[in-house]
Amino acid sequence: MIHTPHNLQGIRVALTGGTSGLGLALMDELVTRGARVAFVARDQRRVAAVAAARPKVAGIVGDVSNKDDIYPLAMQISGLLGGVDVLVNNASALGPVPLALLADTECEDFETALATNLLGPFRLTRALLGSLSAAARERGGAVVLNVSSDAAIEPYPGWGAYGASKSGLRHLSRIWDKELASQRVRVLSLDPGDMDTPLHALAASGDDPTTLKRPADAAREFADAIEAALHALRDQAHLEGVRA
Ligand SMILES: NC(=O)c1ccc[n+]([C@@H]2O[C@H](COP(=O)([O-])OP(=O)(O)OC[C@H]3O[C@@H](n4cnc5c(N)ncnc54)[C@H](OP(=O)(O)O)[C@@H]3O)[C@@H](O)[C@H]2O)c1
């Protein structure tokens, strides 16, 4: 099969957190490669401004940490794109800053981190699973990319709520990847590295931004990973089709 580098022509992507940092950079990278993107964020003005400046994207206002938002979001995403080939769970909650030790972390703040970083991706993936599976059947493969962090693995003091939620998301991704393999839906969990974004500035205000990764560089790596996964799934579907 001929591999076309940097080609996501016609791929339908749902992306959470598209108005800032990595999400915004990834959206632009995916669109440059030919994808159509529907993105979600909470701030209505920023959603409208980002969408207005980009003809090939649709903006949706919603909160992934809110259970009641998930099915309306999934319906809007599927309706706007006419199906979903790729879901990127990127939106994230850090918690109040300065970051607190676990003993000083309010239960409500812990719940918010879990609701945004773990339950939100779980619910949205479940709500879009029918669309993703249909895309995999009809087009050879589908991909869920959950944005992780080194805090999912390293026990950094002060990063308890965020780290526990990202660790849960990483493990959930690995299990779901195995469970969905037979449907040709891949579930990836990738750490973008320390980037110069508003979230990082909040968490580590002392860091020199010039030493941090640019979100556009992480976005290119993530778009490459999505492309590679889709190509591998389609090659596999092609081989299975040949054998059948
Ligand atoms: N920056 C780093 O150094 C770094 C390192 C490792 C991992 N990461 C991960 O990379 C991802 C992107 O981080 P970033 O630094 O780009 O963050 P960011 O600049 O703060 O952007 C976060 C985006 O998510 C949206 N968002 C936040 N909460 C949401 C919610 N409940 N529902 C819907 N949208 C929501 C925000 O818009 P609204 O506020 O309008 O909703 C915004 O568009 C996150 O998963 C983060 O954990 C970042």
For residue 79, pLDDT over 60 is answered with: yes
Residue 242 is predicted with a pLDDT of 56
For ligand 1, whether the C-beta of 194 sits within 6 Å is yes
Residue of 19, 22, 61, 208 best suited for mutating to test ligand 1, as the one with most atoms within 8 Å of CB: 22
Determine the distance separating the centroid of ligand 1 and the alpha carbon of 131, expressed in angstroms: 24
Over its C-alpha atoms, the chain yields an Rg (Å, rounded) of 18
Q: Give the residue among 119, 111, 65, 113 at the shortest CA–CA distance from 93.
A: 113
Query: Checking phi first, is residue 33 left (phi over 0); if not, alpha (psi -120 to 50) or beta?
Result: alpha
The parent domain of residue 191 ranges over 12-243
**CATH at 234:** 3.40.50.720
Distance CA 47, CA 142 (A): 26
User: Is residue 26, in this structure, part of any structural domain at all?
Assistant: yes
**Over the stretch 53-66, which tens digit does the pLDDT of each residue have?**
998 899 999 999 99
88-143 residue pLDDT tens: 999 999 999 999 999 999 999 999 999 999 999 999 999 999 999 999 999 999 99
* 71 annotated active-site: no
**What pLDDT band is residue 241 in, cutting at 50, 70 and 90?**
confident
Span 1-37, pLDDT tens digits: 444 457 999 999 999 999 999 999 999 999 999 999 9
Number of domains into which the chain is organized = 1
Is 196 a member of any domain? yes
**CB of 22 sitting under 6 A from ligand 1:** yes
98 occurs within a structural domain: yes
Whether residue 6 lies inside any domain: the answer is no
pLDDT at 205: 87
Q: How many CB atoms lie within 10 A of CB 133?
A: 16
Tell me the per-residue pLDDT of 199-237, one tens digit each, with 9 for 90 and over.
Answer: 999 998 889 999 999 999 999 999 999 999 999 999 999
**pTM, to two decimals:** 0.97
210 within some domain: yes
Pocket lining: 51 vs ligand 1, CB cutoff 6 Å: no
The share of the chain scoring above pLDDT 90, in percent, equals: 91
Question: What letter does residue 140 receive in the DSSP assignment?
Answer: S
pLDDT value at position 115?
A: 98
92 in contact with ligand 1, CB cutoff 6 A: yes
- Supply the angle between the helices 160-180 and 120-139 in degrees, to the nearest 10: 30
Q: Is 214 in the pocket of ligand 1 (CB under 6 A)?
A: no
**DSSP of 147-214, one letter per residue?**
E--GGGTS--TT-HHHHHHHHHHHHHHHHHHHHHGGGTEEEEEE---SBSSHHHHHH-TTS-GGGSBP
SS3 30: helix
Nearest CA, atom 37, ligand 1: 41
Q: What is the pLDDT of residue 3?
A: 44
Instruction: Give domain status of residue 5, yes or no.
Output: no
| 147 Cα nearest atom in ligand 1 | 45
pLDDT at residue 244 greater than cutoff 50: no
Q: Is residue 90 part of a domain?
A: yes
Q: What is the phi-psi region of residue 83: left when phi exceeds 0, alpha when psi lies from -120 to 50, beta otherwise? A: left
Going 7 to 13 to 16 to 17, the CA torsion angle's sign is: positive
Instruction: Answer yes or no: is 141 within a domain.
Output: yes
